[in-house]
Every structure is written in C-alpha cells, then in structure tokens.
Amino acid sequence: MHALVTGGGGFLGRYIVEQLLARGDRVRSLGRGRYPELETLGVEVFRGDIADRDAVSKACQSVDAVFHVAALPGIAMQWAPYEQANIRGTAHVIAGCRAQGVSRLVYTSSPSVVFAGVDQCGVNESAPYDFAWMKANGAHYSHSKALAEQAVLAATDATLRTCALRPHLIWGPRDNHLIPRLIARARAGRLRRVGDGTNRVDTIYVENAAVAHLQAADALLDASSSVAGRAYFLSQNEPANCWEWIDEILELVKLPPVRKTISRRNAERAGALLENIYRLLSLSGEPPMTRFLAAQLATSHWFDLSASRRDFGYAPAFSTAEGMQRLGAWLRS
C-alpha cells in the first residue's frame, strides 16, 4: 500500500515507517522537521504541522492508509497546545482522509484516555472515559487524546474505516521521551518511588507497537472488518512491578535502584502546588510532578488484550528480555 505516517520521524512513527518499507510498501511522512534519515530510506518527506489543515490534506493525497502517530505528549499545564495538536490536528487528519479518498485510518491513542486515578487490573476496552476526572486533575494530554480518539472512532463509515490503538508505556532504542527523562532524573537524584511500590503496569516494546499498527491497518482492508470503529489496548501482555521495571532500566546504565520514597498523598500535594505555580506564572515546560503523574506512578494499570488478539492477531513479536537487550545496547552505544 501507499501509506502516510504523521510523525514518521518520531520514536514510534519511525519504526512504523521502517516496518512498512521492509515489506515493500510506499511511505510518506508528515512532520515539522526535515528528517534526512527518512529521505535516505526512500521515504517521501512532507514538511508541515498537523495543525495546518492544508498541509495535512496535501499529505493525504493518493495514499491508501494513514497512520496518525503525531501528537503532543507530556504533562504541561497549558491546555491550548494540546487542543491544537491533538484535537484540531486529528480533526485535520480525518478531514484530509475524507477529502482525498483515503480508505483506512489507524490512530495512535493511549490507555490514559480511560485512566481515572484508580487501579486498573485486567480491564478491557469497555472501560469508560472519565472526562470529569481528567479536567479536575489537569490531565490535558489524556483529555485531548480521549476527545481525538472519540472523533476518530465516530468517523468510521462505508468510505473511511478507522480504529484506535492504545499502546502503554512504549520503550526501546531511539526513545526520546520516557527513558531519557527517567535516566536524567535518576542521575540528578530526583527520582522517587511514589506509593508503596507494589503497583503493576503494562509496557510495550516499540517494535511490537509498530507491528500492531500494520496488523490493524491490514485488518481494515476488509470492508466488513470488526476492527473498524474500535479501540484496542496493546502491551507486552506481562504486567511488571512498576518500580522493579524502572530499576532494571537504571541497571542498564549502571545506576543504582530507586531508594527514596514518597506517599501518593504527598506526591499529589506537591503536584497540585507545582501545577498552580506553572499556571499562575504561565511557565512553559512540564512541572516535575503533577497530580496525574502521581496517580499514574502509584497505581496499577494493566489490560486485557483479548480483543486485539482476536480481531487482528496481535501477539508480542519481541519478548521483553529481547527488547531490554536491544535497549541496553542502544543506551551504551
């Protein structure tokens, strides 16, 4: 197929691009940067912002499927950038697909769209959005992604088949977000275990997340596919103790395990204070702690993958052990 990957120069996006190329598909990427490494691979690189409706529509011309990966992540306190990138940008992608006759759209969502501050143990896709909790706790990323996911799923019809994938805690070589920040905090002595340290979480190795995107897009080829209009959780399907997993990553770069702890209540108090400071002073960037982050770090969240297995055959192609070996080699290189 001829595929467009928004954010094709990013962490997950680039792996999707590479897997598409490896099986012989034509690939176009839309992003704000130049990404000469993609051009070297033979990718048609379109430079533009997903918040630019015309640029998105142009990028959608003559493609069969769109993988909408680009998004604004993080825990910043200003709503407007999330609304522009994640909600308006996704609306532009949907409109571009319609205007250019694209038949398939795979949206990269997040399990945080159904997170409401409590343990999630083995939950499936029937878990509801809790917009009240997101608004009350300043969870702009998950709030904006949830609204965008709703729009994508509602857009599915006879001419455009859509689905949303929810990979949880993506990690692996070339990560430019989660792992580097974790290591930087540990080196600076600013990493604290939040809660009692017993919470279990799902994670996903980045190449497994990319494989799932291709599988979902292929499943959407069938006009009667059960995948159309649905969201799916993705993970390694082996929940790990959150803090033991973090310690394993730190060990890859010869850093000691996390020793200091803070209660969830105190972390949330600190987060609320920092959120107010960032809002009142209109500070850019992200607070070192927020109420949302405290809740995420102190609770369990792992998911039932029955639907993704059943509907498009998802199963982790790369084990966690193999992924950690590859991550360690990259971190030491």
- Taking only the tens place, the pLDDT of each residue in 182-226 is 999 999 999 999 999 999 999 999 999 999 999 999 999 999 999
Q: Which structure tokens are listed for 266?
A: 């105190």
Is 205 an active-site residue?
A: no
Please give the domain boundaries of the chain with CATH numbers for all domains: 2-332 (3.40.50.720)
pLDDT of residue 284: 86
Q: How confident is the model at residue 32 (pLDDT cuts 50, 70, 90)?
A: very high
The DSSP output letter for 300 is -
Which residues have a Cβ under 8 Å from the Cβ of 80 and sit 6 or more positions away?
Answer: none
Q: Which structure tokens are listed for 37?
A: 């490494």
Q: What percent of the chain has pLDDT over 90?
A: 97
Kindly state the average pLDDT of the residues 144-173. 98
3-state secondary structure of 7: coil
The amino acid present at 314, given as its one-letter code, is: Y
3-state secondary structure of 223: coil
How many H helices and E strands in the chain?
Answer: 14, 15
Kindly state the average pLDDT of the residues 233-258. 97
CA-based nearest residue to 17, from 57, 56, 70: 70
Q: Which residue reads 């009692």 in tokens?
A: 196
Which entry of 15, 35, 82, 141 is annotated as an active-site residue? 141
pLDDT of residue 313: 97
How high is the mean pLDDT of the chain?
97
pLDDT in tens, 250-308: 999 999 999 999 999 999 999 999 999 999 998 888 999 999 999 999 999 999 999 99
